[in-house]
Structure 1
Amino acid sequence: MTDGHASSLETGDATALPEDVDDVRDALVSWYEADHRDFPWRRTDDPYEILVSEVMSQQTQLGRVVEAWEDFLDEWPTAADLAAADRSDVVSFWSGHSLGYNNRAKYLHEATRQVIEEYDGEFPRSPDELSELMGVGPYTANAVASFAFNNGDAVVDTNVKRVLHRAFAEIHNADDPDYETVANTLMPPGESRIWNNAIMELGGVACGKKPRCDEASCPWREWCHAYQTGDFTAPDVPTQPSFEGSRRQFRGRVVRLLGEHDEMDLDTLGHRIRVDYTPDGEHGREWLRGLLSDLADDGLVQIEEGNDQTIARLQ
């Protein structure tokens, strides 16, 4: 926030907030409640449904996640249903809906088994406890705690960092900004559900890489350092490696094909996943064995070596 408002964040003291911090908070929450993107997982506080949405959203644009999320819950409506499912079916669904790294499907499946077997079917409620679930990192654990139980810390993702960097002059000018402390101090106590949804919405709708301050009626224009100075620089946003032609793409093709067939031999599989496959070529048996070995290490594929051929199948 700019120096035009008294007691703005002091450099080196991330816990000091503007004197009118309540107005800053109220403006954001009111803006969010008046109009926001209506994703279906925002209408539930079921931790299982929220966990599924969070895991899916790690690799896929939110608009594309909606259909996959709804289809997934049609197939496995509860954590118990998913825990009882065959892992190969879950992985095949994941690959068929182009949801990114297939080991996320494996981890999600294992996490629900933990909930059923270790927590008597009840999801843990705190970020630390949720982090004990397979494949659930600190960000996802905090998101589930926030949106399911209103029991989380402030979410700090790329969008939130961009918002804080632009809004606070002290964050903007710091060599090593303490985003987490600022975000948690700014968040109203005990309001992680509404606050995290609101500030993430701000970063996704009004304060993107190309800001839309006036078009989106950004509620922080009155206080925002970037809006008042015209300096909309922000931390670099990492770019995802190209999916087309990547190992990730071919891993997905392997899993999808093995989900459609009980098993496939090496050369049949190779010819099906890429048009330039030649057994002794650059993208031949040695390349494919490496791909299958990676998938086997992830617990997704089983490889059986015979006298005259290699057979692959889903675990």
Structure 2
Amino acid sequence: MTDPDETVVSGLADGDDPSLPADPEAVRDALREWYETDHREFPWRRTTDPYEILVSEVMSQQTQLDRVVPAWEDFLERWPTAADLAAADQSDVVAFWSDHSLGYNNRATYLHEAATQVETEYGGAFPDSPDELRELMGVGPYTANAVASFAFNNGDAVVDTNVKRVLHRAFDVPDDDDAFERVASHVMPAGESRIWNNAIMELGGVACGKKPRCDEAGCPWREWCHAYQTGDFTAPDVPTQPSFEGSRRQFRGRIVRLLGEHDEMDLDALGHRIRVDYTPDGEHGREWLRGLLSDLADDGLVRIEERDDQITARLR
């Protein structure tokens, strides 16, 4: 019978085989010991509640973790269970999201709808596999796998930007999504997705960032690491985020915050409140503002009403 590890390695052969270590169990033991000895403390790492983990995963999308912690704690204090969130007014959830500067507000609506699905379609019990979790509103492959891993220890190997950087440097994995998936699956020990995915993401976040800290962070993979041995610490490019200041995202957030404070606002009153250079017929005038409101309406966040030649907006 062929060893399953050997089967995975042979599946990588296309002339670009990564330099996988001969003893994968030693690699696994080293990372697990490093993580268990010392790692960053985040409150969602101390729970296996799938609702609490889903909230943390959605909040963490493109938001710094030190900002997520107080928002996550406040959110769970207000809506401690999926049932509480499902029963909440969606506009309150969106207003919370905007007040805590958690990024795109449609994530709040998706989270609210996912909680509603759990209550109405799953009898209040979260599904526990990545495929089933993907049926929840707004839950993509990465988030589904993370919840399955951290809540149920039932996930596949997580492959995010940090993990790709680690695998590329450590094992010379080519910059190819299929190769990353196969190697990540090969090195993860069976049945240990909870600790393993936390550990390898921690390695990428603490020791193997864009600027590596191999010795300072005591990287456990130095003896096997291709980059450490060659001094070549290049890694796959990471797309830069567009500037938030002056972006449509910034003005969309301002609109949601203002509408959260008022029952409704007419177009010009809203325009003057969100930017000082608003002029009804100018470059940043009614047409520009209608475009922002249309985007928010498409996301299910805002309702636009026209009556008596007046245009008003309100949160849904």
Above 0.5 in TM-score?
A: yes
Counterpart residue number, 2:259 = 258
Off by >4 Å, runs of 4+ in structure 1 = 13-17, 174-177
What is the alpha-carbon distance in structure 2 between the residues aligned to residue 130 and residue 214 of structure 1?
Answer: 39
Look up the equivalent residue of 2:141 and give its one-letter code. Answer: P
Write the distance in 2 (CA, Å) between the matches of 1:60 and 1:175. 26
2:118 corresponds, among 115, 122, 126, to: 115
Rounded to whole Å, the distance in 2 between the matches of 1:177 and 1:255 is 40
Q: Distance in 2 between matches of 1:158 and 1:86?
A: 35
Question: How far is 1:59 from its partner?
Answer: 2.1
Q: CA deviation at 1:20?
A: 1.4
CA–CA distance in 1 between the matches of 2:278 and 2:251?
A: 12
Q: Equivalences for 1:6-17 in 2 at 5 Å? A: 12=13, 17=20
Task: Verify: 1:214 aligned to 2:215, yes or no.
Answer: yes
Structure 1 residue 103, shift from structure 2 partner: 0.3
Q: Kindly state the Cα deviation for residue 308 of structure 1 after the two structures are TM-superposed.
A: 2.9
Tell me the CA shift for residue 285 of structure 1. Answer: 0.6
CA drift at 1:99 = 0.4
For residue 199 of structure 2, what is the aligned residue in structure 1? Answer: 198
Residues 15 and 181 of structure 1 are in contact (CA less than 8 Å); yes or no, is this contact kept in structure 2?
no
Deviation at 1:175, TM superposition (A): 6.5
State which of 164, 167, 182 in structure 2 corresponds to 1:164. Answer: 167
1:310 and 1:59 map into 2 onto residues whose CA distance is 33
Which runs of 5 or more residues in structure 2 are unaligned? 1-8
Other-structure match for 1:82:
85
The amino acid that maps onto 1:274 is R
Alignment map for 1:247-286 (pairs within 5 Å): 247-286=248-287
For 1:34, the aligned partner's letter is: T
Asked whether the 8 Å contact 1:265–1:309 carries over to 2, the reply is yes
Q: Quick one: distance in 1 between partners of 2:178 and 2:286?
A: 48
Q: CA deviation at 1:185?
A: 1.0
Matched positions, count:
306
* Change in CA separation of 1:211 and 1:17 when aligned onto 2, cut-off 3 Å: closer
Q: Tell me the CA shift for residue 18 of structure 1.
A: 2.8
- What is the alpha-carbon distance in structure 2 between the residues aligned to residue 110 and residue 98 of structure 1? 20
Q: Who is 2:228 aligned against?
A: 227
Q: 1:176 to 1:29 in 2, by over 3 A?
A: closer
Instruction: Kindly indicate whether residue 179 of structure 2 is the aligned counterpart of residue 178 of structure 1.
Output: yes
1:177-201 Cα shifts (integer Å, max 9, x gaps): 6100110111000000000000000
Query: After the TM superposition, which residues 282-293 of structure 1 pair with which residues of structure 2 at under 5 Å, given as runs?
Result: 282-293=283-294
Structure 1 residue ranges without an equivalent (≥5):
1-8
The residue type paired with residue 54 of structure 1 is E
Contact 2:207 / 2:217 at 8 angstroms: preserved in 1? yes
Identity of aligned residues (%): 83
CA RMSD of aligned residues (A): 1.6
